[in-house]
Amino acid sequence: MTNTPIEIELADAFSALPEVPSLPVLCLLSESAAELEPGLPIWEKGKALQRVHGFEMIPPRSELESAAGLWFFIRQSILDAKP
């Protein structure tokens, strides 16, 4: 069975754990980020990452900024769990 392009992108992101994942992964995460509690600081973290990495990595759209913030917390949890 062949993996779809987004499955490959996700596998790459969870394997390499980049500070900012690819745009397709951000787009996928944006759907989940929209469902989270409004008080979580994901948008603020995404904006901070955007200032570091630029608009090419995190386009200036609030849902993608939130997705980048969500990825930050997912990534940090994975890194914290590693021995």
- pLDDT for 28 equals 95
- Cβ density class 58-79: b for 16+ within 10 Å, e for less: beeeebbbbbbbbbbebbeeee
For the stretch 27-79, pLDDT in tens is: 999 998 888 877 789 999 999 999 999 999 999 999 999 999 999 999 999 99
Rg (CA), the chain: 13
Residue 7 has pLDDT above 80, yes or no: yes
Give the domain range for residue 31: 5-81
- pLDDT for 47 equals 95
Domain count, the chain: 1
- pLDDT for 39 equals 73
Residues in the chain: 83
Residue 1 has pLDDT above 80, yes or no: no
